[in-house]
Each structure stands twice: as C-alpha cells, then as structure tokens.
Amino acid sequence: MEEREFDEYEYEERKKEQGTIILILLLVLTAVVAVVYLFSEKEESYIPKDAESYTESNEAPSSLSSEAAIPDESIQLVASALERVVVGMPFEVTFTLKNYEADTFQAGNWDEAFNVSSQPRVQRGSGTSMQNGQLTKFTTTNYVYVVVPKKEGTFTIAPAKATVNGKEYVSNALAVSVFSGGQSNDKKFVAAVLDKVFVGKQIRVTFSLDSPDADNFQVPDWSDAFEILVGPSVSRQKTVTSIKGQPVVMGSTTYTYILKPKVAGTFTISPAKVMADGKLYESNPLTIPVLP
C-alpha cells in the first residue's frame, strides 16, 4: 500500500513539472514571435543607405524654389556617352543637369568629326535618394543630342554649360573612340523569331551575338507591319575559362523585343548592327510570315 501511494505522489509531481516546462516554452515562443514581428516591421520600412529612386517625365517638375534652398554644390551638370562607337552609326550624348531647371543651356563646340542634331531632346524627371540616413528629393533635366561620327579616331566632346540663378555650371568633357566598323564574321550574330506569328499576337524577336561585351546595338529599319511593345531588353552571359593556361572570356549578349504584328503578310526586318571588341557585326535579315 505504501509503495503505491509513493508512485501516485511521484506521478503528480512529474505532471506539475511537465506543466511548468510547457508554460515556460510557450512564454519563450511568444517572445520570439514578438521579436520577429518587430524586426519584420523595420525591414519593410527600411531604405538602404545611399539608395536612389527615379522617375522620368517629359513634363517639367514642380519648381524647387518653394522648398528648402538647394546648396550650390548639389547642382551638377554631367556629360555621358558611349566610349566606343562606329563610323556612320548614330549614338547619343547626354548632358544631365541635376537639382534645378537651367535658365540657359549651351553645348560646347562639336568636333568636325561629328554630325550633330541641331537641337537636343529634353527629358525631365524627379526622384529621391538616401544618403547618410537622410532622404532628399532631386530633379534632373537631360539634354540629349544624336551624334553621327564621320571618321575614325579618338575625339573630345567639349563640356556643356548651364546657367542657374546667374551662376554658371560646366560639365565634364568626354573622350570617344571611333572605329571604322569594318564588318567582321568571327562571331555569330543571329536574329530569330521565338514564336508562331499571327496578327495581333505578341511575339519575341531576339538578336544574339556570341560575345558578352557587345554594345551600340541598333536595328536600322523596322517594318511598319509591327508595333514595338517592349525592347530592346538586354541579357548577358559571361564566363572565364582557361585554355592552355591562358584565360579566355566566353559568353553572349542577347537583345530581345516584344512585337505585335498589325497585318497579315510576309515582312522583312533589316539586319541589326552591334559593336564588340572594336568590330562591327551585322545580323541576318529576318523574314517573318504573319498569319491572319
């Protein structure tokens, strides 16, 4: 009888101990869930240091003069363009004025090696940036010139000038190397249609070069039978391997368009052109039969 009473007592004690352990575990779990929730809330509202977002518009942004005064050092005029281009192939030179509307803008004298559009295309935009933990607004005005090189060589694009509230800002100069663009056949540059083609149905057209360093891509003439919905989007694949102890770079660059055929018939897209390693490559012309 005594031994049975002892067993029942021990059993009750163990039940109490187990209940206590379960209660402690529940409290710990609740605390962990609360901490995870707090951190997830912070992550959702967290903006990385020095992050920047940008929206482009053809409309002028609202004047910044009604907001806090903008320090002169935050007003910048920056020139940008491709470093390597081909004789006869147009490219763009962009002068970007950041954080204010210019009272006056003037590009520098153009080298005689270039034919240049008489007036720039003006694009305006606005955005926000995070620097040193502070969120600031900015605006941009892009002055875009279409430039056609006439001869080989390395040429300098002179700085542009902009006047803001009576103060003059000067951009950087640009060095552009122009190549003859003699057509090369040592790499494959292939145009292809990836879908069956029907009127009104979206299709993908790709232009692929077996080099990861292609640039200055252009399709000189699109058929009017196609509406360009998206493109070109660019994807690159690049690997470095060793052959006989020497590093060899391999890969590809693919330009993809999404088109919508507008009418039935058989149409031809002109060969595309692209630069790689100082050489000009031309794709095959693309004949596309469009079914009704």
pLDDT of residue 131: 67
206, HSE (Cβ side, Cα atoms, 13 Å): 13
Each residue's pLDDT expressed in tens, for the chain with a length of 292 residues: 444 444 555 556 665 666 667 767 777 666 655 555 554 444 333 334 444 444 454 444 433 333 334 445 578 899 998 777 777 777 889 999 987 778 899 999 999 999 898 888 888 887 776 667 777 777 789 999 988 888 888 899 999 999 988 899 999 999 888 876 555 566 788 888 877 889 999 999 989 888 888 888 888 788 888 999 987 889 888 777 655 567 767 788 999 999 999 999 999 888 888 888 778 888 888 888 899 8
pLDDT of residue 31: 65
Q: Cα dihedral angle (198, 202, 203, 204), rounded to 10 degrees?
A: 180
Structural tokens at position 6: 């002892």
From the centroid of its chain, how far is CA 187?
26
* pTM, 2 dp: 0.48
Closest CA to 130 of 48, 55, 43: 48
Q: Go through the domains of the chain in sequence order and give each one's CATH number.
A: 52-179 (2.60.40.10), 189-290 (2.60.40.740)
pLDDT of residue 163: 92
Backbone angles phi, psi at 9, to 5 degrees: -65, -45
Rounded CA gap, 234 and 239, in Å? Answer: 17
pLDDT of residue 192: 86
pLDDT of residue 220: 78
State the Cα angle at 87 between 85 and 92, rounded to 5°. 45
